[in-house]
């Protein structure tokens, strides 16, 4: 657990020393969301209907933006080798990096999304559900994304390839996440969506660090 | 302490080396020599367990440690191993002290700030402990990395081109550090293009 | 005894000639089953009461969908075996299967669209099965793209294997989530394979076509496997010998 926290702390500190990367992803999220009303038109009923999907897809894309960098710097400067040779389990260190990725990339989206939801005319209950579904869903995006980032590490065309690998795997998260908000604003219960999202998260917490570690060891070979 | 028997390694189609064997007792060190592309770095990465060997075995204190599987033996080996590769493994955004602190954290060791400060001083970085590594020169960055030789107690040093980018003073200092390490009963495996005036050396030409 | 034979054929060297002997056999079977299947599906199977003649495309569509799923499973199985046991041949097998699987998924999507136009007046419906098939196609594309982006075949095999295994875990989740999404958003979902009204001869036609697709897939994968073996082991003695 110490190793996990140390790896997370280190990544957060590094990100705070070069804030531009984190802020870029957040502004990207804001901009993508704002583009939709401009492209579709400002009709309130329509905007309210598409809001969950738009916000969730934007969150997906914003997460994707930072993923190629997740392991890349550590791979280039040899830190990843040091991690692989650490007596602490590599999976724990990697889980720490995933945690940091979520704190830097997922958590801001959770906080920011309700503000953007206001632009789309979502009511208070839907805004709350939006935040909550993102709170459950964004860790999932970080976990799944890390697997893709590890697989494409140091591969040519890595960034685009990463998107091709990861986006299909994001689909269930998108469906349940956006579905929860849509169900809430339609007055139906969102418990089903949320419990499925939580089940996926539990599965990914168990599976993703392991798969990511295996992929990283292959990349280091 | 550290023995290797009949190691073989190939990269893609090309066989780099085969049937490499050596044995190091406490206080001995191995100088791996060879032209560029002869497989020096590959041998070192194979020894520390970053890549798998095509054939052969590696033993540390009698226990099998080769390969990339995480077993109690390899974890024990990693605890006593310090590998410094080509890359600096030093973060530009952090200062020297923070770099050492996180290295220790990754290795799962308690961090001794006084020891780290003393190490940085010995490596000639007095007064630069709190500067971001970004502003240091290439040689100074290398020295930050070498400070780990002092802060981390390890019985096996595996150093890849450790003498690169170092000035005359630093080369002498690293030689002195190696001397102390070997005198204390450690072993070391080095690659270097220059001759090293250290006792107890064995040479492996690839 | 069986075990010994099995391992003998696990090396490319001894599997290469065996595959060469098997390929014509599978081609012949594919042609026979294909001819019989097409005959049944065009001349024997009755015209559907609701869908008219246009429904006959399911004799291609359904077997192609089945194949695309079976091949993904087979691919993941061989890739996983290659990762676990470090056997070269299994990884090559996975690599050989991927393009055929992608082809089947694409065929299923195209025939699905052809079917949709006369039936529902639109080329594409966001039906659960078609959508899952589309995602399966994306997964194939990802696997092929990852493998071809990595130069070192050993690393390509291992990375591909991990991706295929991640995919296998995700395929049921994706299918279930798409189905869930579909029932929520389209109350009256159109089911592509409405089985109860299917005549006995229709089922026979579909079965024959499915067998033809199996045989074709095996033949073409073995052909590709032989090409991969030659390419990867081009410096070894047996390849020089085999090409003489």
- DSSP letters for A140-166: HHHHHHHHHHHHTTT-TTHHHHHHHHH
Task: Residue A59: give the domain boundaries.
Answer: 2-220
Scanning every residue of chain C, which has its alpha carbon at the shortest distance from the alpha carbon of A207?
A: C166
Task: Lowest mean pLDDT of B77-86, B187-196, C68-77, name the range.
Answer: B187-196
Which chain B residues have a beta carbon less than 8 Å from that of A221? 50-52, 68
- Distance in angstroms between the alpha carbons of the first and the last residue of chain A: 26
Per cent of chain C over pLDDT 90 is 46
For residues C211 and C203, is the Cβ–Cβ distance under 8 A? no
Pairwise CB contact (< 8 Å): A179 & C174 = no
A/B interface, count of CB pairs below 8 Å: 78
Residue B11, classed as helix, strand or coil, is strand
Average pLDDT of chain A to the nearest whole number:
92
* Residue C190 banded pLDDT, cuts 50, 70, 90: very low
Scanning every residue of chain B, which has its alpha carbon at the shortest distance from the alpha carbon of C233?
A: B13
Token pair belonging to A163: 């998107």
Task: Lowest mean pLDDT of A191-195, B156-160, C32-36, C190-194, name the range.
Answer: C190-194
Per cent of chain A over pLDDT 70 is 100
CA dihedral A121, A126, A127, A133 (to 10 degrees): -140
Residues C176-203 have a mean pLDDT of 64
* Residue C1 banded pLDDT, cuts 50, 70, 90: very low
Which residues lie closer than 8 Å to B186 by C-beta, 6 or more apart? B26, B27, B154, B155, B156, B157
Which is higher by pLDDT, C71 or C182?
C71
Residues A152-166 have a mean pLDDT of 89
| Tens digits of residue pLDDT in C97-146 | 999 999 999 999 999 888 888 877 888 888 888 888 999 999 999 999 99
Task: Lowest mean pLDDT of A71-75, B101-105, B195-199, C26-30, name the range.
Answer: B195-199
For residues B47 and B158, is the Cβ–Cβ distance under 8 A? yes
DSSP letter at C47? P
Residue B56 sits at φ, ψ, to 5 deg, of 100, 175
pLDDT at A93: 93
Secondary structure, 3-state, C120-169: HCCCCCCCHHHHHHHHHHHHHHHHHHHHHHCCCHHHHHHHHHHHHHHHHH
pLDDT at C188: 40
* Residue A109 banded pLDDT, cuts 50, 70, 90: very high
Query: Subunits with at least 3 CB pairs below 8 A relative to chain A?
Result: B, C
Average pLDDT of chain C to the nearest whole number:
85
Tell me if chain A has a CB within 8 Å of the CB of C159: yes
What does each C-alpha distance from A178 to A30, A136, C40, C94 come to in angstroms?
17, 12, 46, 35
Token pair belonging to A77: 């400067």
| Tens digits of residue pLDDT in A16-55 | 988 888 899 999 999 999 999 999 988 989 999 899 999 9
Q: Where are the extended beta strands (E) located within chain C?
A: none
Q: Does the pLDDT of residue C4 top 60, yes or no?
A: no
Cβ burial of A44 (10 Å; 0-12, 13-18, 19+) is exposed
| Tens digits of residue pLDDT in C149-158 | 998 888 899 9
A/C interface, count of CB pairs below 8 Å: 75
Residue C172, classed as helix, strand or coil, is helix
Q: How far apart are CA A93 and CA A147, in angstroms?
A: 14
pLDDT at C105: 96
Residues A51-72 have a mean pLDDT of 93
Q: Does the pLDDT of residue C160 top 80, yes or no?
A: yes
Which chain C residues have a beta carbon less than 8 Å from that of B12? 152-153
pLDDT at C198: 62
Pairwise CB contact (< 8 Å): A161 & C184 = no
**Residue B12 distance to chain C (closest CA, Å):** 6
Pairwise CB contact (< 8 Å): B106 & A3 = yes
pLDDT at C192: 47
Q: How far apart are CA A139 and CA A145, in angstroms?
A: 10
Checking DSSP bridges between strand B81-84 and strand B29-33, what pairing results, if any? unpaired
pLDDT at A175: 92
Residue B33, classed as helix, strand or coil, is strand
Longest dimension (CA), chain A: 58
Pairwise CB contact (< 8 Å): B107 & A86 = yes
What ipTM score was computed for the predicted complex, to two decimals? 0.89
Q: How far apart are CA B106 and CA B113, in angstroms?
A: 16
Tell me if chain C has a CB within 8 Å of the CB of B93: no
Q: How far apart are CA B133 and CA B141, in angstroms?
A: 7
pLDDT at C163: 95
For residues A103 and A12, is the Cβ–Cβ distance under 8 A? yes
Q: Report the sign of the C-alpha dihedral through residues B164, B168, B169, B172, in that order.
A: positive
- pTM of the entire structure? 0.89
DSSP letter at C86? -
A interface residues, B as partner, C-beta within 8 Å = 2-3, 6-7, 9-10, 13-14, 17-18, 76-79, 81-90, 93, 217, 220-221
For residues C159 and C194, is the Cβ–Cβ distance under 8 A? no
Q: Domains in chain A: how many in total?
A: 1
């Amino acid at each position: 657990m110490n190793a996990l926290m140390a790896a997370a702390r280190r990544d957060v500190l590094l990100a705070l020393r070069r804030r531009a990367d984190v802020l870029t992803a957040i502004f990207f999220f804001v901009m993508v969301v704002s583009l939709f009303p401009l492209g579709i038109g400002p009709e309130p009923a329509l905007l309210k209907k598409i809001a969950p999907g738009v916000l969730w897809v934007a969150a997906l894309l914003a997460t994707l933006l930072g993923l190629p960098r997740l392991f890349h710097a550590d791979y280039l400067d040899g830190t990843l080798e040091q991690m692989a040779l650490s007596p602490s389990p590599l999976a724990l260190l990697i889980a720490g990096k995933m945690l940091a990725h979520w704190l830097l990339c997922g958590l801001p989206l959770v906080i920011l999304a309700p503000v953007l939801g206001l632009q789309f005319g979502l009511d208070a209950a839907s805004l709350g559900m939006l935040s909550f579904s993102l709170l459950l869903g964004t860790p999932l995006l970080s976990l799944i994304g890390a697997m893709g980032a590890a697989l494409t590490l140091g591969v040519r065309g890595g960034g685009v390839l990463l998107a091709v690998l990861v986006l299909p795997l994001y689909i269930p998260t998108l469906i349940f996440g956006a579905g929860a908000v849509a169900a809430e604003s339609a007055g139906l219960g969102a418990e089903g969506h949320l419990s499925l999202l939580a089940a996926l998260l539990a599965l990914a917490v168990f599976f993703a660090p392991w798969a990511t570690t295996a992929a990283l060891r292959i990349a280091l070979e | 302490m550290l023995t290797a028997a009949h190691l073989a390694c190939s990269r893609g189609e090309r066989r780099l080396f085969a049937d490499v064997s050596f044995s190091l007792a406490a206080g001995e060190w191995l100088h791996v020599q060879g032209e560029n592309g002869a497989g020096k770095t590959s041998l070192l990465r194979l020894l520390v367990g970053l890549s798998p060997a095509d054939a052969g075995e590696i033993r540390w204190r009698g226990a099998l440690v080769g390969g990339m599987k995480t077993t109690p033996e390899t974890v024990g080996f990693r605890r006593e191993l310090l590998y410094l590769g080509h890359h600096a493994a030093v973060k530009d955004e952090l200062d020297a002290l923070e770099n050492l602190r996180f290295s220790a954290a990754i290795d799962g060791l308690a961090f001794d700030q006084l020891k780290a400060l003393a190490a940085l001083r010995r490596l000639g970085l007095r007064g630069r402990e709190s500067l971001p590594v970004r502003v240091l020169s290439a040689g100074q960055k290398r020295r930050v990395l070498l400070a780990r030789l002092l802060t981390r107690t390890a019985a096996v040093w595996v150093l890849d081109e450790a003498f690169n980018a170092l000035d005359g003073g630093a080369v002498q200092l690293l030689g002195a550090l190696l001397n102390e390490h070997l005198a204390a009963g450690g072993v070391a495996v080095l690659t270097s293009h220059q001759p090293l005036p250290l006792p107890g050396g064995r040479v492996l030409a690839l | 005894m069986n075990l010994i034979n099995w391992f003998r054929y696990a090396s490319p060297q001894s599997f290469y000639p065996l595959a060469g002997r098997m390929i014509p056999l599978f081609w012949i079977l594919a042609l026979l089953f294909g001819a019989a299947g097409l005959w049944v599906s065009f001349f024997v199977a009755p015209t559907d009461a609701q869908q008219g003649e246009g429904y006959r495309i399911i004799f291609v569509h359904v077997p192609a969908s089945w194949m695309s799923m079976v091949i993904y499973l087979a691919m993941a199985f061989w890739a996983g075996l290659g990762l676990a046991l470090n056997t070269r041949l299994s990884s090559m097998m996975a690599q050989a299967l991927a393009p055929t699987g992608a082809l089947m998924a694409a065929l299923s999507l195209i025939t699905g669209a052809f079917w949709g136009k006369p039936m529902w007046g639109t080329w594409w419906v966001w039906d659960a099965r078609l959508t899952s098939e589309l995602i399966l196609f994306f997964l194939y594309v990802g696997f092929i793209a990852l493998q071809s982006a990595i130069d070192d075949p050993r690393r390509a095999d291992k990375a591909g294997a991990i991706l295929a295994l991640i995919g296998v875990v995700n395929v049921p989740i994706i299918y279930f989530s798409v189905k869930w999404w579909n029932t929520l958003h389209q109350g009256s979902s159109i089911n592509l394979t409405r089985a109860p009204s299917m005549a006995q001869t229709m089922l026979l036609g579909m079965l024959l076509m499915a067998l033809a697709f199996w045989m074709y897939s095996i033949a073409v994968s073995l052909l590709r496997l032989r090409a991969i073996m030659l390419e990867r082991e081009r410096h070894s003695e047996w390849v020089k010998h085999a090409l003489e």
